[in-house]
Structure 1
Amino acid sequence: MAKVSINLATGSIQKEEIIVGIDLGTTNSLVAFITPEQEPLIINDSGKGLLVPSVIHFSPSGEISVGNEAKEFLITDPENTIFSVKRLLGRSYKDIESHKDFFSYKVIDDDTESLVKVKVGDTFYTPIELSSLILKELKERAEHALKTPVNRAVITVPAYFNDSQRQATRDAGKLAGIDVLRIVNEPTAASLAYGIGLSANESKTIAVYDLGGGTFDVSILQIQNGIFEVLATNGNTYLGGDDFDRAILNYWIEQNKLDAAAVSANKELAQALRLKAEEAKIALTTQNLFNDTVNGIPCAITRQVFESLIADKVQETITCCKNALADAGLTTADIQEVIMVGGSTRTPFVKQSVSEFFKRPVHDQINPDQVVALGAAIQADILAGNRKDILLLDVTPLSLGIETMGGLMDVIIPRNAKVPTKAGRQYTTSVDGQVNLKVAVYQGERDLVKENRKLAEFELKGIPAMPAGLPKVDINFLLNADGILTVEALELRSGVKQQVEVKPTYGLTDNQVEQMLMDSITHAKDDVSQRMIIEAQTEASQMVYTVQRFLEKNASYLSEQEISHTRKLTDELKSLLQSTDKDAILKKTDELNDFTRPFAERLMDEAIGKAMKGKSI
């Protein structure tokens, strides 16, 4: 007997389960689907509103709330309320160090090359786990509103997200119990929402300007015969409306002669001022003056002052527009339409600046908060096979390559190459009798690999011993439609081969994600706990080893007191290595790391001092 699904919300018979479109945003997230009338619609679950604030709160009793309910705790419990987690996705502490004061919660610096962790109470979370909680909330809202299971989705990301950030987004989806069918660039989704009505014979070149809460990107697209082709992308994954709020906040601190460090230390006050700044920004879209107080602190600002405060940030976005046009080989005269996306484009000064740069009025008819999610739903509909008239061609935002002699970056797939794509180069050995070849994969635009982002490293082992220059090693890069990279190395003379899917150093492996997903489904919490304990023990033992080696080599640079305290902390951590208290291990690792971090900086200063005197380091 054939099974037939009936959507109770619409009464229609479904051939397939619904595939939703999800806009996982810095400030707000949304979920959309295609109605039986073939219209994209944002899902509004039981009057909770269309936007789901990307905020998570952890109560002392262990309850987790997401969205509207969590937002209420931003002021009353800032240390346990997580916001703007998208800014942490796929990032190391080094990436966000200069912005750490922005977060009212504790962002852990455990190792400059690994994924940041967030500490809530005595528990440590990765941004992937935190993002999965937001996605789970969206999934549950969609299921409740549509009265049908929702297990498959298209999720959007900024066009400028790198490989590790895309992988982290995909991992977060898996962890939330969602099969992520496609990762789509936000501007591409927005162009779908606007371009859906274009007639088949219409040809247009458009710019999509997307300024959200925490990210900015601009894409130049060619739309022709139902084909959406991204010609170029540019942007900044650390620029958005949050920065506008921060500019207002800093202005108030200055005007009231407050101590910035003291405000930052007072989490409740800092958060209250940040939210009041956001309120002021929104009010200034329709009025010329905002005047209020927070805890007796006057908070007044005019639109003119606000515009002067954000002028540099807006100019940065215009520079990105210039760069994208240059990459596409176009001028503003070639752009026929300009689409505005993201809540921050409501700011009149932003619209005016973009309109002046492109020398034409901008399009903002579709709600800028919703346009990406609506486009994602349309893309989901295409993947479900319901639309045959649209094809998406996307591009990779950053160049991909490998490290060659002298630490140089050898680009294999250049930025703005169409995806999916495959490219390769031939290499050889540099030492006689070399049997292993290290392949280090990088992403970025600089000539030196140290300036770029390292994505992965592996060794091609078992090359027959031959004189240098004789082996022929083909290295091929295959970039799929989601921007996920597979790297293959093949020694042609012997047939020795190795292939890896590049899992960025910041993401979880598929096995870890699958394990965590199974654990969450079967509630086998013991399994999850065990895995996390082992990870914490491994991390701690590496820390102990590193610190002990450092003391052996560099004790002369430290005082007796520093040495004895370091040994004390190291011994305390060693005593916990067999412990099953994951958070106690991580807490002590964090303490040891915090105490010893300045030592390395001091050593570097000494070395530089010697170099300046003409001595070698």
Structure 2
Amino acid sequence: MAKVAINLSTGSIQQEEVIVGIDLGTTNSLVAYIHPEDKKPIAINDQGRGTIVPSVVHFTQQGETIVGNEAKEYLTTDPANTIYSVKRLLGKSYQDLGEHRDYFGYKIIDDNTEGLVKIRVGDRFYSPIELSAEILKELRERAEHSLKTPVNRAVITVPAYFNDSQRQATRDAGKLAGLEVLRIINEPTAASLAYGIGISPEEEKTIAVYDLGGGTFDISILSIHQGIFEVLATNGDTYLGGDDLDREIINYWIKENELVADTINQDKHLSQELRLKAEEAKKALSSAAEYTSDIDGKIRCHITRDKFEELIQPIVARTIRSCEQALSDAKLTPEQIDAVIMVGGSTRVPLVYNAVSEFFGKPANNSLNPDEVVALGAAIQADILAGNRKDILLLDVTPLTLGIETMGGLMDSIIPRNSKIPTKAGRQYTTSVDGQVNMKISVYQGERDLVKENRKLAEFDLKGIPAMPAGFPKVDVNFILNADGILKVEAIELRSGVRQEVEVKPQYGLTDAQVEQMLMDSITHAREDVAARMVIEARTTGEQMVYQVEQFLKKNGQHLTEDEVSLTQTNVQNLKNVLTSGDKDTILKAVDTLEEQTSPFAERVMQISIKQAMAGKKIE
């Protein structure tokens, strides 16, 4: 007898399993699914709290984690323990952040390496993957509560410009949240699916997707041909968004109230109060002619729509210049664009909508909720992957992740599971030891973080790397997977041109049941796998820090006082002592202590070196 699942709260027949679509956003996130009766995508509104979940994570003094609407309230009262805009940090190193480091109200750790950033909250250290997983977990729980059914699989969207490491970080966050991520798709692709563009295989169109979110702006030009979406060009600014429109209002109010900007920046509570009022004003001015409020009866917050439009005109003009550049890169004119789609809450601002429609010479599509459109499209993609849309061709995909072994026995994914084939992907690596002339490339297949839990496919040595200091050689490792499932792995040292390659058949010898078991194991062990990975990464960071500081003392000890040398040696010893502890927070705390203590020396020695170099210079 066949079993039929009934949703007890609605009485409707349930699908055996719901696959959700998730828009993991910089400012806000949401989750959507296909309604089983009318087959339309719908954003989940759990317990009437709204469809939008602010991408904010707060850690309480008691060690609890609060995500979303409730966490947002702590932005003003406890900014150091409240994390926002974590998507900006995904797959990024501290050096990648550049001059934007001061944007964040919480502490980001600089460990003097190109390793991925860490966020310090009290005595705990979090990676952006863990923090993103907290947001995804909240979305998953809301979906399960609303749909009264387990949610284990999802399609997650990312910006079109996300690189491999940012996409992999998003997958890892999903895995840590207990989700099997069936596909990572581009946000503009999802938005066009939501508008029904690209669903029919016969359709051929060129479209523009203008996405002005809370913290980021991007414009993507897509070509849709036989159900395949190709990104022709993308442009934008990862530090331009609705927040910048708010900031114009804040600066206007600071001037009107004759406040001191530096004082505002130092008073985190007041700066967040102003930020929230400005956001309120921006939303109100989409329909009202003016906005009036105040903070504590002392700071008057008044602005007209005309003044607001005058203030934001240069920002809107910047986005239009990005549109011009994207069209130029795609070698197209505005007339050749068949449709323009608006994404992101900030596109509700009338000036933005009018400027975009005028530039492209046609009214932009904004009939769907711009906050929800990406999640709705992700739900449609999930429905396609579930096989519920028989009219849509699903291209072959690779069933298991392919990657290589890196330091500490970790698996570095290069082609994620469910990637469409044929496909090609690669990463760049370097040496870890001075004078290293060979590099072992070990190829693995599987979903676990440690290679010992995965299946080894091949191994070869890249020989003849010129002897250079650690970190200098640049080795590109490329995976090329053809339509028959044959994998070619090539390694090339870019400075010398030395290359080596091997061919393997990844699926050979694995039954469907074995593949399924490997997937189940990866979900079951996700938390412990990630914990093990993080300890190994923390230990590697600590070892690099010890090496760097000891080398620094050898070369520059004469510029330091005895007390400074003594304290540095004590902190180095403390770090060495905890390297084997198996506690990532203890290790990273020791790294942070050593880094904070030694960074002023490095600056001082740099100044001395510059002075000596200048003194020795002869002017001809």
The TM-score range, normalised by the shorter chain, is 0.7 to 0.9
Q: Distance in 2 between matches of 1:390 and 1:516?
A: 29
Q: Deviations over 1:167-218 (max 9, x none)?
A: 1101000000101011111011000111359877654322110111122221
**Higher RCO (C-alpha 8 Å, min separation 6):** 1
Q: Does 1:176 align with 2:181?
A: no
Q: Deviations over 1:566-610 (max 9, x none)?
A: 344434444544556653442332122123224334444555566
* 1:423–1:39 Cα change, 3 Å: closer
Specify the alignment match of 1:322 in structure 2: 324
Whether contact under 8 Å (1:89, 1:169) holds in the other structure is yes
Q: Distance in 2 between matches of 1:271 and 1:367?
A: 27
Offset at 1:94? 2.0
Specify the alignment match of 2:18 in structure 1: 18
* 1:62–1:316 Cα change, 3 Å: same
Q: Distance in 1 between matches of 2:360 and 2:394?
A: 25
* 1:328–1:83 Cα change, 3 Å: same
Corresponding letter in the other structure for 1:128: I
Corresponding letter in the other structure for 1:335: I
Corresponding letter in the other structure for 1:277: A
Q: Does 1:32 align with 2:29?
A: no
Offset at 1:354? 1.4
Q: Deviations over 1:29-58 (max 9, x none)?
A: 111111122211111212121111111121
Q: Distance in 1 between matches of 2:349 and 2:393?
A: 33
Q: Deviations over 1:33-92 (max 9, x none)?
A: 111222111112121211111111211112212112222222222222222111111111
Specify the alignment match of 2:338 in structure 1: 336
Offset at 1:126? 0.8
Specify the alignment match of 1:134 in structure 2: 135
Which structure 2 residues correspond to residues 122-521 of structure 1 after superposition, within 5 A?
122-196=123-197, 203-224=204-225, 226-295=227-296, 296-390=298-392, 421-422=423-424, 436=438, 461=461, 463=463, 476-478=478-480, 488-489=490-491, 497=502, 518=524
User: For structure 1, which runs of at least 5 residues remain unmatched after alignment?
Assistant: 394-417, 425-433, 440-458, 467-472, 502-512
Specify the alignment match of 2:85 in structure 1: 84
Deviates more, 1:607-616 or 1:26-35: 607-616
Specify the alignment match of 2:403 in structure 1: none
Q: Deviations over 1:477-519 (max 9, x none)?
A: 43899xxx9953399x998638999xxxxxxxxxxx9999646
Q: Distance in 2 between matches of 1:152 and 1:276?
A: 38
Q: Distance in 2 between matches of 1:282 and 1:180?
A: 34
Q: Deviations over 1:6-51 (max 9, x none)?
A: 4445645456411111111112111111112221111121212111
3-state SS of 2:219 partner: strand
Q: Distance in 2 between matches of 1:486 and 1:251?
A: 58
Q: Distance in 2 between matches of 1:543 and 1:500?
A: 40
Q: Distance in 2 between matches of 1:553 and 1:109?
A: 22
Q: Distance in 1 between matches of 2:575 and 2:554?
A: 18
Whether contact under 8 Å (2:207, 2:221) holds in the other structure is yes
3-state SS of 1:128 partner: helix
Q: Distance in 2 between matches of 1:494 and 1:49?
A: 54
Q: Distance in 1 between matches of 2:141 and 2:49?
A: 13
Corresponding letter in the other structure for 2:92: R
Q: Deviations over 1:208-240 (max 9, x none)?
A: 101111222212123456554433222223321
Corresponding letter in the other structure for 1:294: I
Q: Distance in 2 between matches of 1:151 and 1:301?
A: 47
Q: Distance in 1 between matches of 2:488 and 2:610?
A: 40
* 1:532–1:372 Cα change, 3 Å: closer
* 1:494–1:22 Cα change, 3 Å: closer
Corresponding letter in the other structure for 2:352: V
Corresponding letter in the other structure for 2:206: T
Q: Distance in 1 between matches of 2:305 and 2:133?
A: 38
Corresponding letter in the other structure for 2:291: F
Q: Distance in 2 between matches of 1:103 and 1:495?
A: 43
Corresponding letter in the other structure for 1:92: S
3-state SS of 1:49 partner: coil
Corresponding letter in the other structure for 1:363: N
Whether contact under 8 Å (1:213, 1:342) holds in the other structure is yes
Corresponding letter in the other structure for 2:116: L
Instruction: Name the count of aligned residue pairs.
Output: 539
Specify the alignment match of 2:456 in structure 1: none
Whether contact under 8 Å (2:201, 2:392) holds in the other structure is no
Corresponding letter in the other structure for 1:544: V
TM-score by length of 2: 0.76
Whether contact under 8 Å (1:490, 1:497) holds in the other structure is no
Offset at 1:159? 0.9
3-state SS of 1:221 partner: strand
Q: Distance in 1 between matches of 2:291 and 2:210?
A: 27
* Partner residue of 1:599 out of 575, 598, 601: 601
TM-score by length of 1: 0.77
Whether contact under 8 Å (1:222, 1:228) holds in the other structure is yes
Specify the alignment match of 2:472 in structure 1: none
RMSD: 3.9
* 1:310–1:588 Cα change, 3 Å: farther
Deviates more, 1:600-609 or 1:314-323: 600-609
Offset at 1:152? 0.8
* 1:161–1:200 Cα change, 3 Å: closer
Whether contact under 8 Å (1:5, 1:17) holds in the other structure is no
Whether contact under 8 Å (2:198, 2:229) holds in the other structure is no
* 1:319–1:499 Cα change, 3 Å: farther
Q: Distance in 2 between matches of 1:22 and 1:231?
A: 24
Give the percent of matched residue pairs that are identical in Structure 1 and Structure 2: 64
Q: Distance in 1 between matches of 2:616 and 2:421?
A: 50
Corresponding letter in the other structure for 2:32: A
Q: Distance in 2 between matches of 1:367 and 1:474?
A: 42
Q: Distance in 2 between matches of 1:321 and 1:175?
A: 36
* 1:593–1:517 Cα change, 3 Å: farther
Q: Distance in 2 between matches of 1:51 and 1:245?
A: 19
3-state SS of 1:461 partner: strand
Deviates more, 1:200-209 or 1:342-351: 200-209
Corresponding letter in the other structure for 1:30: L
Q: Distance in 1 between matches of 2:421 and 2:277?
A: 43
Corresponding letter in the other structure for 1:179: E
Corresponding letter in the other structure for 1:221: L
Whether contact under 8 Å (2:198, 2:224) holds in the other structure is no
Corresponding letter in the other structure for 2:20: V
Whether contact under 8 Å (1:159, 1:233) holds in the other structure is yes
